[in-house]
């Protein structure tokens, strides 16, 4: 890998971090947003659920629509939209405007993420491609897990506005770096729409999509309200909440390492075991949520399962169902994850409004039970040979 390629992949990794950070970092700010805009915590969570729903809608389509345009120009466009949305989010005092400033960038989110993987792989030799793509995944993981505690810490240490400014600064730095250091990248070959869309005829792809939706709902139906849960149920101080969120984020990184080994040696057993193990953690979570030390330990274990392991399982489920159309499968993966996030966050808000914050864990348990059912049906109905031919 040449030095220019090292720099390109580094910029893409930070870029993906900035995009995912904008999406997920708001989770750590929900209590402050509710206070700042005088709305309920469940209404504030619309910033998470509607962002995710928008990505779910645009995931399979937007990358294809922009596939024929110079990739550098597309990257600059997406980053520019995110910077403007971040700036509006800092200065607005109207919750509806804040929602709009979040939803518009969300339409462009899948474009950058898909491009980052494609460009990283094409910038090196075929043998080096997996290594290059794995570095982009570092940005994805960091954006999803590190953004929440960082934003929460800045919010508590300085202000809500400075936490929002952090999102804008990261995206602006990547925008300038892309403008200066990333070479022009005209598209030489357009993707075939028909070939990719044909995978939707396969029953297994739909079982996989439903499973990914349920697994993501199981995680984000609870995680979206973790800061609020630790504040109202566990009675943690703001600094302790930030530390606990950092523990969750660090555990996600460990999960990425563990997941690769598990899926390599025993993919089917890993997939079936996941909802059972996470369900057991949630049951313990439910009964010990008011105790600080047990919650810190549970958060560590939960983070290992919920971060890298679940993300890798989700990717495996859809990619193995449509190996002939990896680009479209990636779009479906992004969409399914964000539908799950949307449904989970919405269901979590309903449980909190109707039963109280401590009962939000039930959303995760219910989603895991349903996901285990779809996993078992998927495994029973489709052998590996059937997956390729169905």
- pLDDT tops 80 at residue 96: yes
Angstrom distance (rounded) from CA 3 to CA 8: 9
- Token pair for residue 160? 């809500």
Summary mean pLDDT of the chain:
83
- pLDDT tops 60 at residue 2: no
Taking only the tens place, the pLDDT of each residue in 114-145 is 788 778 877 777 666 656 766 777 777 778 77
Angstrom distance (rounded) from CA 208 to CA 228: 31
Query: Angle at CA 211, nearest 5°, toward 324 and 363?
Result: 155
pLDDT of residue 326: 66
- Report which of 322, 33, 328, 303 is spatially closest to residue 144, judged by C-alpha positions: 303
CATH 1.10.630.10 is right for the domain spanning 194-390 = no
**pLDDT tier at 185, thresholds 50, 70, 90:** confident
The helix-helix angle for 203-223 and 238-288 (nearest 10°) equals 120
- Report which of 147, 302, 320 is spatially closest to residue 218, judged by C-alpha positions: 302
Which residue's structure tokens are 């996600």? 252
pLDDT of residue 389: 44
**pLDDT tier at 387, thresholds 50, 70, 90:** very low
Angstrom distance (rounded) from CA 177 to CA 164: 21
Taking only the tens place, the pLDDT of each residue in 367-386 is 999 999 999 998 877 755 44
For residue 23, give every residue at least 6 positions away whose Cβ sits within 8 Å of its Cβ, in sequence order, or none.
48, 51, 52, 55, 106, 109, 143, 144
- Report which of 219, 210, 312, 197 is spatially closest to residue 258, judged by C-alpha positions: 312
- Classify 1-191 by CATH class: mainly alpha
Cα distance between the two ends of the chain: 39
Question: Mean of the pLDDT values across residues 171-189?
Answer: 89
Ranges for all domains in the chain classified under CATH 1.20.1250.20: 1-191, 194-390
Query: Angle at CA 186, nearest 5°, toward 185 and 187?
Result: 115
- Token pair for residue 19? 């995009």
- Report which of 138, 163, 229 is spatially closest to residue 22, judged by C-alpha positions: 163
Other beta carbons within 10 angstroms of residue 1's beta carbon come to 14
Angstrom distance (rounded) from CA 242 to CA 256: 22
Rounded to two decimals, the pTM is: 0.73
pLDDT of residue 231: 86
- pLDDT tops 50 at residue 388: no
Taking only the tens place, the pLDDT of each residue in 269-282 is 888 888 998 999 99
**pLDDT tier at 173, thresholds 50, 70, 90:** very high
Taking only the tens place, the pLDDT of each residue in 212-221 is 999 999 988 8
């Amino acid at each position: 890998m040449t030095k220019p390629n090292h720099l390109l992949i580094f910029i893409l990794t930070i870029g993906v971090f900035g995009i995912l950070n904008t999406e997920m970092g708001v989770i750590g700010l929900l209590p402050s947003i509710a206070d700042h805009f005088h709305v309920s915590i469940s209404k504030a969570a619309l910033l998470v659920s509607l962002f995710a729903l928008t990505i779910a809608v645009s995931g399979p389509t937007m990358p294809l629509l922009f596939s024929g345009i110079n990739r550098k120009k597309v990257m600059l466009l997406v980053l520019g939209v995110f910077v403007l949305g971040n700036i509006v989010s800092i200065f607005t005092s109207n919750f509806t405007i804040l929602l709009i400033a979040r939803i518009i960038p969300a339409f462009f989110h899948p474009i950058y993420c898909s491009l980052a993987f494609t460009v990283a792989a094409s910038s090196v030799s075929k043998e080096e491609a997996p290594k290059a793509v794995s570095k982009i995944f570092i940005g994805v993981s960091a954006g999803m897990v590190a953004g929440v505690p960082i934003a929460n810490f800045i919010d508590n240490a300085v202000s809500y506005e400075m936490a929002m400014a952090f999102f804008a600064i990261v995206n602006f730095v990547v925008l300038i770096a892309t403008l200066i250091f990333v070479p022009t990248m005209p598209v030489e070959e357009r993707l075939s729409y028909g070939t990719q869309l044909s995978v939707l005829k396969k029953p297994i792809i739909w079982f996989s999509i439903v499973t990914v939706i349920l697994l993501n709902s199981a995680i984000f139906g609870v995680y979206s309200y973790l800061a609020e849960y630790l504040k109202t149920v566990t009675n943690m101080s703001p600094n302790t909440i930030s530390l606990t969120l950092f523990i969750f984020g660090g555990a996600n990184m460990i999960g990425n390492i563990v997941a690769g080994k598990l899926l390599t040696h025993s993919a089917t057993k890993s997939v079936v075991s996941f909802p059972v193990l996470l369900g057991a953690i949630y049951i313990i979570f439910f009964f010990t949520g008011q105790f600080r030390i047990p919650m810190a330990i549970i958060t560590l274990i939960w983070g290992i399962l919920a971060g890298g392991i679940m993300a890798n399982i989700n990717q495996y489920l859809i990619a193995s169902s449509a190996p002939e159309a990896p680009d479209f499968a990636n779009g479906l993966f992004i969409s399914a994850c964000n539908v799950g996030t949307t449904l989970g966050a919405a269901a979590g808000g309903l449980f909190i409004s109707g039963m109280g914050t401590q009962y939000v864990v039930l959303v995760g348990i219910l989603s895991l039970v349903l996901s285990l059912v779809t996993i078992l049906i998927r495994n029973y109905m489709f052998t590996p040979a059937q997956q390729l031919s169905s």
